[in-house]
């Protein structure tokens, strides 16, 4: 589907005392279904705000946001919760696993509340953790924890996968393997994947690249020839 | 350094502000603990001090002395002279029965006091100062003050008049005691002597005092005081109830007892001397009386003689009266007959008038009937007239219409005649015109004929000429037609013509021919026109003839109509004449009828007047009759009264005669009596002289305040609180420690990085730690201040309030007790500081480098439940997480479980105390003691008729058992406990009034003549078991050993039941009946009082008491317990709230990130909240269950503390109390969760993206 995710003239302002911060200022872009999209920009460019808006964690002041043709900028809090529940898979920089649950249980915690979720064990096998699924997060390495997090996001069978600096807390090699996993997932399952990062290097593997600067879209383009993740270095 | 101090203060302030919830939690639990501890400990001293202050302000006597033979002025002086005695006040005190407006008498204690000396609070010589709460002080000796609060004063209010009843077993003559027998209540007072709701015993009425009144001492007629009140020098400075005070007073009391011995001797001698004096006085009186009696007898005889003469006079007067009466009777009869005759006449006249009136009525009725008929006829005639008139009007209208139509037709006919005439004229004109046209035609035709003939000739020539030329033509038309096409022809013609000489061409010829032809046609048309005109004329002629005929016929018709009309006009005139005559006839009839009506009304009026007269006459007659009856009655009454007077006089006369006879008899009897009395009196005097030696020796009884019901019961109750005070707050301190520990540990955990930094910068462990110590210390100190302040001020007042239901208490004095405040605050600070230090040290022991790294997350722990996959796989993630969390956070677990357990335990205790006392009431009074009435008898008095009579009354008594009762002591292993000894005279009878059973098994204990059964509480106190040997000491001080054969459930009192044989064998004394336990049919206060009054009227009855009185006072205690339950409820609620608030607070802080993540993952608010609250709920369940166990223990402790050696409470907590305690705990937990839920909802999802701290 073309124009699967659409930002149309979206603004989000924050009031800081007497000062208004335009976190996102008239941002417009659109992404097709199944694309591997990288949103890149320096700190304060509005990446997190875009992520929050796209992830249904916040609502915009003006403009429209569509996902698969549905206007999500006009949803109530309750509807936003359901949106996050059924349509969005979220991968955090710091994994955000529940320490008190095993890898498998962490995945189950997400699938438990979904309608047509994948089998948690299969998903864990897919991310290469079939023999570590009964371990607690504290017993796993950072990369493994992030794989659990990806499995948790994926198992919900969401429409989009939002990854906030997924490699931020990982070393280069592990980070690259995570990117590879995300890329493979994108291509294998046909899910639209957003990677939000400040790392310019990652743009080289993207189907679509959105450059943000000071709350505006500085540049947006389709990458005619994405490189495989293995080729990327930083 | 200054700057750093400032920074330090600033960071500390920031620390508090940033962690206010924790600060509040530590503050709250410390305040609760300190408040409870300090407050409970302060309560007893506060209570005692308040009452002591009250005692001092009212100058309450420390000691009072009662002397059996009264206290003399010399006695008072002797007591006053003692150096240990501060001030002395004598008083008269007597207990009597007194009547109010109510039916039954009240048992009243009457104090005779020097009321004018009352003075101000805290000063003066008046002891046991009264406080006036209503009304005024008495101003006359028949006015009194009444004790108006508490158990006394029922039905007594201002203005109540108390009449002292003469029925009193120890007072023979009221006048010897009181000057006044009626007292009016003018003021209501309170006294420090009676502030307990418990009633004082007395020996009058139903055995308890109903009222206490105070009168001025001048109302007493006694020559000696009965009581002496005194204060002990220096005792006022000591606090009442303390050992120092009691020892000091006891010492003085002993000295007073010694003095009493001495004074009693003196008193005895005085009484003896007085008695001798009295005997001497009696002798003198005897001689006086003898002389007086003889003189009186002589006087009496004279009187008798005088009476006899008077009676003779009276008899004569009676005879005269009788004659007068007969005359009056005869006169009355004659007058009455006359009057009756007159009335009869009047009645006959009235009867005649009545028949006339009735006749008149009848005639009037007939006339009315006739008039009515006339009217009816008139109305029908009038209706007929109206009908005729209507018909006439209709006929007239029809006729007028007909005439109008005739006139119209006539006019139309005339118009038609005119028209005919006009047409005739037109026809004539037309005829003349036509004739004129015919003439013209004839003329024109002739001319044409001529021209035609000439032309035809020419033509014939031409034609023939032509025919000669070889061109014959049949007709002119042929020729002319040929000419048109053949000019040769034309030429030929012309030539012919010319030949003829006709100056004309062929064309001219043709033109001529055409002219002729045209003229011929024109003539033909003219002729046709004329023919047409003639035919039209003929038609018009015919039509005219027809019209003429019609016109003539119309005339004939019109004439006929005119004749008809004339005939109708005549008929109408005749009709109208008839109508007019009918109307005048009707008018005549109407007038006549109205005249008749007027006559009739006149007749009616006359008749009515007649009736009025008749009734007037009748009324007058009745009046006359009534008057007659009245006069007759009056006269008869007079006669009767005269007769009565006469009869009375006769009776009086007879009475006089009888009295005279009596008087004479009396005189003779009196004479004999006087002689006998004098002899008796002399004998008495001789007896009195003999009995001087038998006068009882006086005795002083010395009482200190412990004999005062109010003082002793208040003292016991106040001290019980102190015992409870020591155990309750332990919980709070324990929980405070845990709260501080968990809170500070969490705080240190959060500041980990900062700690590492500080440590790396070279700060010492102590310096870093001081921050937290100061933080929690500040919270604790604030908590101590607020807690001790509230504890000292609030808690004693609440408990004071509880006791106010059974005592009338003065305003409470709550002191801030520095010692207690320091003690409780010190304990609290020790707990929280210790916890803080221990929480800090474990973290600070780490190296700075490891501190600066986030603490590696604790690995989740597996719980045993995972080994049961059947259950585990069914759990949702949050249930699994909860299961693991419970095991993982042990400190939180213990803090919460213990806090909740404490909450539940407090509630169980509170409700349990209620149950226990309820058990006591139900088990003791419904199951164990089956008698309702206790009667103590004077065993020496033998069978008493009053008691026998009472017991024999089957409507009141269902059954009774005779006992020998004694008081004594049981001892075992050195312990000695006071006990009531009960020996049933028939062991088989015992179960009728008392159930002896084992409490635990409920099985009965068999009792026979050799059994020895002890009540449970006493046995437990002495550590005795069945089969053990106990030593029993009776009131004579004889000790004997017995083998215990049973231990019986018993709550109120300490008893040993001994079989008759066993007792008799050991004590060598045959038990005799001195106590009756009675089962009665008596119900209700009134019946009970009646029964008690009956019994107490007997000298043999020492005590009589219904069990319902005891029950009633226990019910009051039960109500006051509810207040304690409320205190426990509030404090347990606060405890639960603080603990749960703290736990939720910590949990939310600790799991903020997890909660935010769950929100991002799309968990709904309630699902997120459940993640936290499920844990709370499970902890609440565990805590509640533990609380039940603790509650049972705590309840047992409290009950044992509150019990007295004489009283045992129920030991069981009812199931309902557990339900309520658990339910309330859950309610508290639920409320805290509801209050905290918004905290969870407010967590921002952005927090999930923050770096791990």
Task: Tell me what pLDDT residue B888 has.
Answer: 79
The structure tokens listed for B413 are: 């006919």
Task: Tell me what pLDDT residue A151 has.
Answer: 92
Tally the C-alpha atoms within 13 A of residue B608's C-alpha that lie toward its C-beta. 6
Q: Residue A107 and residue A89: Cα distance in Å, rounded?
A: 12
Is the CB of A164 less than 8 angstroms away from the CB of B1249? yes
Find out whether B843 and B853 touch, Cβ atoms under 8 Å.
no
B601 CB-near residues (< 8 Å, 6+ apart): none
Q: What is the mean pLDDT of residues B413-426?
A: 90
pLDDT tens digits along B896-905? 898 899 889 8
Task: Tell me what pLDDT residue B956 has.
Answer: 87
* Higher per-residue confidence, B1030 vs B201: B1030
B17-21, B61-65, B471-475, B795-799: which range is least confident on average?
B471-475
* Statement: residue B152 has pLDDT above 70: no
User: What 8-state DSSP symbol labels residue A166?
Assistant: T
Angle at CA B566, nearest 5°, toward B565 and B568? 65
Residues B292 and B401 in one domain: yes
Task: Tell me what pLDDT residue B2 has.
Answer: 44
Q: Is A115 exposed, middle or buried (0-12, 13-18, 19+ CB in 10 A)?
A: exposed
Is the CB of A96 less than 8 angstroms away from the CB of B1154? yes
A68-72, B778-782, B1108-1112, B1145-1149: which range is least confident on average?
B1108-1112
Q: How confident is the model at residue B155 (pLDDT cuts 50, 70, 90)?
A: low
Residue B907 inside a domain? The answer is no
The radius of gyration computed from the CA coordinates of chain A, to the nearest angstrom, equals: 17
B982 CB-near residues (< 8 Å, 6+ apart): B963, B964, B965, B1055, B1056, B1057, B1058, B1075
User: Strand B211-216 and strand B1039-1043: pairing?
Assistant: unpaired
* Higher per-residue confidence, B1115 vs B76: B76
Give A-chain residues touching B876 at CB under 8 angstroms.
112
Q: What is the mean pLDDT of residues B455-463?
A: 82
Q: How confident is the model at residue A172 (pLDDT cuts 50, 70, 90)?
A: confident
Is the CB of A81 less than 8 angstroms away from the CB of B1163? yes
User: What 8-state DSSP symbol labels residue B137?
Assistant: -
Find out whether B1022 and B1205 touch, Cβ atoms under 8 Å.
no
Phi, psi of B1008 (to 5 degrees): -135, -170
Residues B232 and B189 in one domain: yes
B946 CB-near residues (< 8 Å, 6+ apart): B1094, B1095, B1097, B1098, B1100, B1101
Q: Is B471 exposed, middle or buried (0-12, 13-18, 19+ CB in 10 A)?
A: middle
Of B859, B1160, B1165, the CB nearest to A136: B859
Residue tagged 């509640």 (tokens): B1184
Find out whether B112 and B142 touch, Cβ atoms under 8 Å.
no
* Statement: residue B658 has pLDDT above 50: yes
Find out whether A195 and A208 touch, Cβ atoms under 8 Å.
no
Of B1058, B1087, B1107, which residue is a domain's last? B1107
Q: Residue B820 and residue B42: Cα distance in Å, rounded?
A: 7
Residues B160 and B292 in one domain: no
A49-58, B403-412, B714-723: which range is least confident on average?
B714-723
Residue ranges of alpha helices (H) inside chain A are 47-54, 77-87, 103-111, 120-126, 142-155, 172-189
Residues B662 and B704 in one domain: no
3-state SS track over B494-517: HHHHHHHCCCCCHHHHHHHHHHHH
Is the CB of B860 less than 8 angstroms away from the CB of A99? yes
Tally the domains of chain A: 1
Q: Residues, chain B, total? A: 1253
User: Strand A160-164 and strand A88-91: pairing?
Assistant: parallel
* Higher per-residue confidence, B667 vs B502: B667
Most B CBs within 10 Å: which of A55, A75, A78, A99, as the mutation test of the B interface?
Answer: A99
The radius of gyration computed from the CA coordinates of chain B, to the nearest angstrom, equals: 72
Please report, for residues B370, B595, B977, the alpha-carbon distance to residue B381 in angstroms, rounded to integers and kept in the order given: 16, 18, 129
First to last CA, chain A: 33
Find out whether B962 and B1074 touch, Cβ atoms under 8 Å.
no
Residues B32 and B82 in one domain: no
The structure tokens listed for B1112 are: 């009633």
Task: Tell me what pLDDT residue A210 has.
Answer: 93
B342-346, B937-941, B1096-1100, B1230-1234: which range is least confident on average?
B937-941
* Statement: residue B694 has pLDDT above 80: no
Of B856, B1162, B1248, the CB nearest to A81: B1162
Give A-chain residues touching B880 at CB under 8 angstroms.
101, 105
Q: How confident is the model at residue B1116 (pLDDT cuts 50, 70, 90)?
A: low
**Which of B707, B824, B721 has its CA nearest to residue B45?**
B721
Q: What is the mean pLDDT of residues B626-646?
A: 87
Residue tagged 């010694």 (tokens): B258
Chain A CA closest to residue B1252: A94
Q: Residue B758 and residue B767: Cα distance in Å, rounded?
A: 10
**Which of A190, B353, A168 has its CA nearest to residue A179?**
A168
Torsion of CA B233, B234, B235, B237, to 10 degrees: 150
Of B812, B833, B856, which residue is a domain's last? B856
Of A85, A109, A138, the CB nearest to B857: A138
A199-208, B211-220, B1042-1051, B1096-1105: which range is least confident on average?
B1096-1105
The structure tokens listed for B397 are: 């209208």
Q: How confident is the model at residue B3 (pLDDT cuts 50, 70, 90)?
A: very low
* Higher per-residue confidence, B768 vs B726: B768
* Statement: residue B358 has pLDDT above 50: yes
How far off is chain B from A96, nearest CA to CA, in Å? 7
Q: Residues, chain A, total? A: 234
Is the CB of B860 less than 8 angstroms away from the CB of A81? no
B482 CB-near residues (< 8 Å, 6+ apart): B473, B489
Q: Kind and range of the H or E element at B971? A: strand B957-972
Give A-chain residues touching B1251 at CB under 8 angstroms.
93-94
Most A CBs within 10 Å: which of B1157, B1164, B1167, B1250, as the mutation test of the A interface?
Answer: B1157
The sign of the dihedral angle between the CA atoms of B283, B285, B286, B287 is positive
Domain that includes residue A35, residue range: 5-231
User: What 8-state DSSP symbol labels residue B923?
Assistant: I
First to last CA, chain B: 31
Find out whether A56 and A83 touch, Cβ atoms under 8 Å.
yes
Residues B209 and B332 in one domain: no
Residues B497 and B640 in one domain: yes
Tally the C-alpha atoms within 13 A of residue A151's C-alpha that lie toward its C-beta. 29
Q: Residue B1112 and residue B1107: Cα distance in Å, rounded?
A: 9
Of B807, B840, B856, which residue is a domain's last? B856
The structure tokens listed for B980 are: 């009531």
Tally the domains of chain B: 4
* pTM tops 0.90, yes or no: no
Q: What is the mean pLDDT of residues B277-287?
A: 85
Of B857, B885, B1162, the CB nearest to A113: B1162
Give B-chain residues touching A152 at CB under 8 angstroms.
1161
Give B-chain residues touching A112 at CB under 8 angstroms.
876-877
Q: How confident is the model at residue B1092 (pLDDT cuts 50, 70, 90)?
A: confident
Residues B587 and B465 in one domain: yes
Q: What percent of chain B has a predicted confidence (pLDDT) above 70?
A: 94
Give A-chain residues touching B1163 at CB under 8 angstroms.
81, 85, 113
Residue B250 inside a domain? The answer is no
Residue B1210 inside a domain? The answer is no
Task: Tell me what pLDDT residue B855 has.
Answer: 66
How far off is chain A from B1225, nearest CA to CA, in Å? 29
* Higher per-residue confidence, B656 vs B848: B656
Q: Residue B104 and residue A53: Cα distance in Å, rounded?
A: 91
Residue B821 inside a domain? The answer is yes
Is the CB of A100 less than 8 angstroms away from the CB of B860? yes
Chain A CA closest to residue B858: A138
Residue B642 inside a domain? The answer is yes
**Which of B108, B212, B86, B220 has its CA nearest to residue B165?**
B108
Q: Give buried/exposed letters for B343-371 (b at 16+ CB in 10 A, else e).
A: eeeeeeebeebeeebeebeeebeeeeeeb
Please report, for residues B261, B487, B857, the alpha-carbon distance to residue B471 in angstroms, rounded to integers and kept in the order given: 222, 13, 162
Size of interface A-B (CB pairs under 8 A): 85
Q: How confident is the model at residue B644 (pLDDT cuts 50, 70, 90)?
A: confident
At B1049, is the secondary structure helix, strand, or coil? coil
Q: Give CA B1234 to chain center in angstroms.
A: 34
Q: Name the region of A214 (left: φ>0; alpha: ψ -120 to 50; beta: rest).
A: left
Give B-chain residues touching A109 at CB under 8 angstroms.
877-878, 1161
Give B-chain residues touching A105 at CB under 8 angstroms.
877, 880
User: Strand B131-135 and strand B182-190: pairing?
Assistant: antiparallel
Domain that includes residue B28, residue range: 1-55+727-856
Of B878, B888, B1153, the CB nearest to A96: B1153
Q: Residue B127 and residue B61: Cα distance in Å, rounded?
A: 6
Residues B651 and B685 in one domain: yes
Give A-chain residues touching B877 at CB under 8 angstroms.
98, 101, 105-106, 108-109, 112
pLDDT tens digits along B1173-1209? 888 899 999 999 999 999 999 888 888 877 766 677 8
**Partners of B977 in the beta sheet?**
B970
Residues B755 and B819 in one domain: yes
Residues B657 and B750 in one domain: no
CATH number at residue A167: 3.40.50.300
Q: How confident is the model at residue B5 (pLDDT cuts 50, 70, 90)?
A: low
Give A-chain residues touching B1157 at CB under 8 angstroms.
92, 96, 98
* Statement: residue B1253 has pLDDT above 60: no
User: What 8-state DSSP symbol labels residue B698?
Assistant: P
* Statement: residue B860 has pLDDT above 70: no
Is the CB of A92 less than 8 angstroms away from the CB of B1248? yes
Residue ranges of alpha helices (H) inside B469-486 are 476-485
pLDDT tens digits along A111-120? 888 888 889 9
User: What 8-state DSSP symbol labels residue A136?
Assistant: -
Please report, for residues B195, B912, B925, B1219, B1220, the alpha-carbon distance to residue B1216 in angstroms, rounded to integers and kept in the order given: 36, 10, 22, 5, 6
How far off is chain B from A40, nearest CA to CA, in Å? 17
How far off is chain B from A51, nearest CA to CA, in Å? 11
Residue B778 inside a domain? The answer is yes
DSSP B823-841: HHHHHHHHHHHHHHHHHHH
Chain B CA closest to residue A49: B1246
Q: What is the mean pLDDT of residues B478-489?
A: 79
Mean pLDDT taken over chain B: 84
Is the CB of A94 less than 8 angstroms away from the CB of B1252? yes
* Residues belonging to chain B with any Cβ–Cβ distance to chain A shorter than 8 Å: 856-860, 876-878, 880-881, 884-885, 888, 1153-1154, 1157, 1159-1165, 1167, 1245-1246, 1248-1252
Residues B341 and B228 in one domain: no
The sign of the dihedral angle between the CA atoms of B111, B114, B116, B119 is negative
Neighbours of B1138 (CB within 10 A): 26
Q: Residue A130 and residue A150: Cα distance in Å, rounded?
A: 14
B903 CB-near residues (< 8 Å, 6+ apart): B1132, B1133, B1135, B1136, B1139, B1183, B1187, B1225, B1228
């Amino acid at each position: 589907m073309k124009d699967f995710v659409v930002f149309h003239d979206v603004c989000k302002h924050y009031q800081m005392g007497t000062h208004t911060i335009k976190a996102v200022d008239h941002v417009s872009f659109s992404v097709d279904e199944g694309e591997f999209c990288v949103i890149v920009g320096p700190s304060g460019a509005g990446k997190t705000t875009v992520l929050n808006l796209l992830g249904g964690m916040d609502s915009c002041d003006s403009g429209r946001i569509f996902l698969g043709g549905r206007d999500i900028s006009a949803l109530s809090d309750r509807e936003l919760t359901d949106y996050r529940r059924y349509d969005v898979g979220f991968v955090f920089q710091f994994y955000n696993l529940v320490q008190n649950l095993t890898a498998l249980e962490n995945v189950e915690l997400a699938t438990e509340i979904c309608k047509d979720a994948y089998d948690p064990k299969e998903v864990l096998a897919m991310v290469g953790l079939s023999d570590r699924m009964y371990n607690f997060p504290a017993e796993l390495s950072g990369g493994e924890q992030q794989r659990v997090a990806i499995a948790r996001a994926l198992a919900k069978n969401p429409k989009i996968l939002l990854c906030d600096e997924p490699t931020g807390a990982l070393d280069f090699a592990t980070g690259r393997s995570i990117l590879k996993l995300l890329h493979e997932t994108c291509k294998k399952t046909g899910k639209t994947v957003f990677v939000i990062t400040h790392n310019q290097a990652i743009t080289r593997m993207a189907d679509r690249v959105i450059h943000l600067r000071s709350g505006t879209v500085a540049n947006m383009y389709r990458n005619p020839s994405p490189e495989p993740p293995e080729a990327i270095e930083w | 350094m200054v700057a750093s101090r400032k920074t330090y203060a600033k960071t500390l302030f920031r620390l508090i502000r940033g962690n206010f919830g924790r600060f509040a939690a530590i503050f709250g639990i410390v305040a609760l603990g300190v408040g409870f501890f300090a407050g409970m400990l302060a309560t007893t001293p506060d209570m005692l001090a308040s009452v002591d202050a009250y005692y001092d302000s009212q100058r309450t006597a420390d000691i009072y002395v009662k002397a059996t033979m009264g206290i003399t002025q010399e006695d008072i002086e002797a007591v006053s002279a003692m150096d240990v005695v501060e001030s002395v006040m004598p008083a008269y005190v007597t207990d009597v029965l007194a009547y109010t407006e109510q039916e039954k008498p009240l048992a009243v204690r009457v104090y005779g006091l020097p009321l004018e000396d009352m003075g101000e609070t805290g000063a003066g010589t008046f002891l046991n100062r009264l406080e006036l709460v209503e009304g005024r002080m008495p101003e006359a000796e028949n006015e009194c003050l009444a004790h108006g609060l508490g158990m006394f004063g029922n039905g007594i209010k201002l203005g109540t008049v108390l009449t002292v009843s003469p029925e009193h077993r120890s007072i023979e003559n009221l006048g010897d005691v009181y000057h006044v027998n009626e007292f009016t209540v003018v003021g209501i007072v309170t006294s420090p002597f009676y502030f307990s709701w418990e009633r004082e015993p007395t020996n009058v009425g139903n055995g308890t005092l109903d009222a206490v009144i105070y009168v001025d001492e001048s109302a007493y007629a006694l020559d000696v005081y009965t009581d002496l009140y005194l204060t002990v020098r220096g005792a006022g400075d000591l606090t009442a109830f303390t050992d120092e005070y009691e020892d000091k007073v006891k010492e003085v009391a002993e000295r007073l007892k010694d003095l009493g011995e001495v004074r009693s001797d003196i008193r005895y001698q005085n009484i003896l001397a007085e008695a001798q004096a009295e005997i001497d006085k009696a002798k003198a009186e005897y001689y006086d009386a003898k002389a007086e009696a003889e003189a009186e007898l002589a006087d009496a005889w004279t009187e008798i003689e005088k009476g006899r003469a008077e009676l003779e006079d009276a008899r004569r007067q009676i005879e005269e009266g009788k004659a007068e009466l007969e005359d009056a009777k005869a006169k009355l009869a004659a007058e009455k007959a006359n009057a009756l005759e007159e009335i009869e006449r009047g009645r006959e006249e009235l009867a005649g008038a009545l028949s006339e009136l009735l006749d008149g009525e009848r005639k009037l009725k007939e006339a009315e009937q006739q008039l009515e008929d006339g009217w009816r006829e008139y109305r029908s005639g009038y209706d007929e007239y109206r009908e005729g008139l209507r018909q006439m009007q209709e006929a007239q209208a029809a006729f007028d219409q007909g005439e109008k139509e005739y006139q119209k037709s006539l006019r139309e006919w005339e118009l038609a005649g005119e028209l005919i005439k006009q047409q005739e004229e037109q026809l004539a004109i037309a005829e003349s015109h036509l004739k004129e046209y015919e003439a013209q035609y004839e003329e024109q035709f002739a001319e044409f004929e001529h021209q035609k003939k000439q032309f035809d000739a020419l033509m014939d020539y031409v034609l023939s000429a032509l025919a000669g030329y070889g061109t014959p033509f049949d007709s002119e038309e042929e020729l002319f037609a040929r000419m048109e096409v053949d000019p040769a022809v034309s030429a030929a013609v012309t030539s012919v013509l010319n030949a003829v000489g006709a100056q004309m061409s062929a064309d001219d010829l043709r033109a001529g021919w055409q002219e002729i032809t045209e003229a011929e046609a024109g003539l033909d048309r003219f002729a046709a026109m004329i023919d047409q005109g003639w035919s039209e004329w003929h038609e018009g002629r015919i039509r005219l003839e027809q019209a003429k005929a019609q016109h003539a016929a119309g005339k004939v018709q019109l004439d006929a109509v005119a004749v008809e009309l004339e005939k109708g006009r005549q008929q109408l005139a005749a009709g109208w004449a008839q109508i007019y005559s009918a109307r005048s006839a009707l008018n005549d009839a109407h007038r006549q009828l109205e005249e008749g009506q007027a006559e009739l009304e006149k007749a009616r009026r006359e008749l009515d007047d007649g009736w009025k007269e008749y009734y007037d006459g009748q009324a007058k007659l009745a009046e006359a009759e009534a008057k007659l009856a009245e006069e007759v009655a009056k006269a008869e009454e007079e006669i009767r009264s005269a007769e009565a007077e006469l009869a009375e006089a006769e009776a009086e006369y007879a009475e006089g005669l009888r009295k005279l006879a009596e008087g004479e008899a009396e005189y003779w009897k009196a004479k004999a009596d006087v002689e006998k009395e004098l002899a008796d009196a002399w004998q008495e005097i001789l007896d009195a002289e003999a009995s001087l030696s038998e006068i009882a020796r006086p005795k002083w009884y010395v009482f200190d305040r412990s004999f005062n019901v109010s003082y002793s019961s208040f003292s016991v109750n106040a001290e019980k609180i102190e015992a409870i005070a020591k155990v309750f707050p332990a919980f709070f301190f324990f929980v405070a420690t845990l709260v501080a520990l968990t809170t500070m540990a969490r705080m240190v955990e959060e500041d980990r990085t900062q700690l590492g930094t500080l440590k790396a910068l070279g700060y010492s462990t102590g310096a870093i730690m001081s921050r937290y110590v100061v933080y929690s210390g500040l919270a604790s100190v604030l908590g101590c201040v607020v807690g001790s302040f509230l504890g000292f001020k609030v808690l004693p007042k609440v408990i004071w309030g509880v006791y106010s239901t059974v005592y009338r208490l003065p305003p409470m004095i709550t002191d801030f007790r520095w010692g207690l405040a320091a003690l409780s605050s010190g304990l609290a600070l020790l707990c929280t500081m210790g916890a803080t230090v221990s929480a800090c040290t474990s973290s600070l022991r780490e190296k700075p480098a490891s501190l600066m790294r986030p603490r590696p997350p604790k690995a989740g722990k597996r719980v045993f439940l995972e080994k049961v996959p059947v259950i585990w796989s069914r759990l949702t993630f949050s249930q699994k997480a909860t299961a693991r969390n419970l095991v993982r956070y042990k400190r939180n677990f213990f803090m919460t479980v213990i806090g909740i357990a404490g909450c539940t335990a407090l509630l169980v205790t509170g409700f349990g105390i209620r149950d226990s006392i309820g058990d006591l009431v139900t088990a003791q009074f419904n199951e164990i003691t089956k008698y309702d009435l206790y009667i103590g008898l004077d065993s020496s008095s033998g069978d008493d008729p009053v008691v026998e009579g009472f017991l024999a009354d089957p409507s009141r008594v269902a059954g009774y058992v005779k006992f020998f009762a004694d008081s004594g002591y049981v001892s075992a292993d050195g312990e000695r406990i006071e006990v009531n000894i009960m020996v049933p005279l028939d062991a088989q009878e015992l179960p009728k009034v008392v159930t002896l059973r084992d409490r635990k098994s409920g099985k009965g204990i068999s009792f026979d003549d050799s059994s020895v059964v002890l009540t449970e509480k006493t046995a437990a106190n002495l550590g005795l078991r069945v089969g053990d040997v106990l030593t029993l000491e009776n009131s004579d001080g004889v000790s004997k050993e017995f083998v215990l054969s049973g231990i019986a459930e018993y709550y109120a009192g300490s008893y040993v039941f001994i079989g008759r044989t066993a007792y008799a064998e050991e004590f060598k004394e045959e038990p005799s009946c001195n106590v009756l336990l009675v089962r009665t049919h008596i119900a209700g206060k009134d019946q009970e009082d009646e029964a008690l009054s009956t019994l107490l009227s007997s000298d043999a009855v020492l005590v009589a008491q219904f069990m319902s009185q005891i029950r009633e006072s226990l019910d009051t205690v039960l109500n006051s317990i509810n207040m304690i339950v409320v205190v426990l409820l509030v404090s347990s609620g606060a405890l639960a709230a603080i603990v749960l608030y703290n736990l939720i607070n910590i949990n939310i802080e600790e799991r903020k990130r997890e909660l935010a993540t769950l929100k991002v993952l799309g968990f709904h608010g309630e699902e997120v909240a459940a993640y936290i609250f499920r844990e709370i709920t499970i902890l609440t369940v565990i805590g509640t269950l533990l609380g039940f166990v603790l509650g049972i223990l705590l309840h047992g402790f409290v009950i044992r503390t509150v019990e007295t050696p004489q009283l045992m409470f129920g030991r069981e907590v009812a199931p309902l109390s557990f339900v309520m305690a658990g339910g309330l705990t859950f309610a508290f937990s639920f409320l805290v969760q509801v209050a905290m839920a918004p905290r969870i909802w407010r967590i921002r999802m952005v927090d999930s993206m923050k770096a791990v701290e």
